[in-house]
A and B are shown apart, each in its own frame.
Chain A
């Protein structure tokens, strides 16, 4: 069993829809939770990160962490075709070794 599980999709939604992307994890030592976006043939880019539990909002994007359930989510409001990409969750502990554990990534397609 992988430390971080993420449904690979693909997920297809119409433009303007609310998108929910999720990851579960097994390691209770994880403290930092990140979402990366990766366009085709490009490197991942950091969207946002959260420390410990709680919510964080940045424009149309909201990240949620529920440590009690070992479950994290990324919500995208008013989705746009430009949001079509693979979304990777990543996590690391507090020891700051820099070792990020990634989920498999969910491929999202937003149709005009």
Chain B
């Protein structure tokens, strides 16, 4: 059983397109996150949701919009994709203590 699952695993798209990444967790956690990992493996938080409420929004361009239909799902929609958006995007979840985050396998986004 996959705890945190993301789709798709790979995404290649042209500049200017709009794309979405989906995430689901079956751990019963209250908090979900989106992280971005750049080519140098630097992992940085983008958003977090707690029970469908936005908690963290880290100076991410407005082109990025997270949506949480319920506490088990957190999707990421990206408008007008740019070359610099190429990275690996990780979804994660944690329970109330927050420090033990469980990560998905990542979505490798390549913008051409």
Stretch from B12-20, B79-87, B103-111 at the A interface: B103-111
Number of A-B contacts (CB under 8 A): 64
Contact B103 A99 (CB under 8 A): no
- List residues of B (22-64) whose CB comes within 8 Å of A's CBs: 31, 33, 40-45, 48, 50, 55-56, 58
B-side interface residues, number (CB < 8 Å): 28
Please measure, in the bound complex, the distance between the C-alpha atom of A32 and the C-alpha atom of B101, giving whole angstroms: 12
Cβ–Cβ < 8 Å partners of B55 in chain A: 97-98
A-side interface residues, number (CB < 8 Å): 23
Q: Which residue of A lies closest to B43 (CB)?
A: A102
Contact A43 B105 (CB under 8 A): yes
Contact B103 A104 (CB under 8 A): no
Contact A88 B100 (CB under 8 A): no
Contact B48 A44 (CB under 8 A): no
Please measure, in the bound complex, the distance between the C-alpha atom of A49 and the C-alpha atom of B101, giving whole angstroms: 11
Cβ–Cβ < 8 Å partners of B101 in chain A: 46, 98, 100
Write the residues of chain A forming the contact surface with B, with a CB cutoff of 8 angstroms: 8, 32, 34, 38, 41-46, 49, 86, 88, 92, 96-100, 102, 104-105, 107
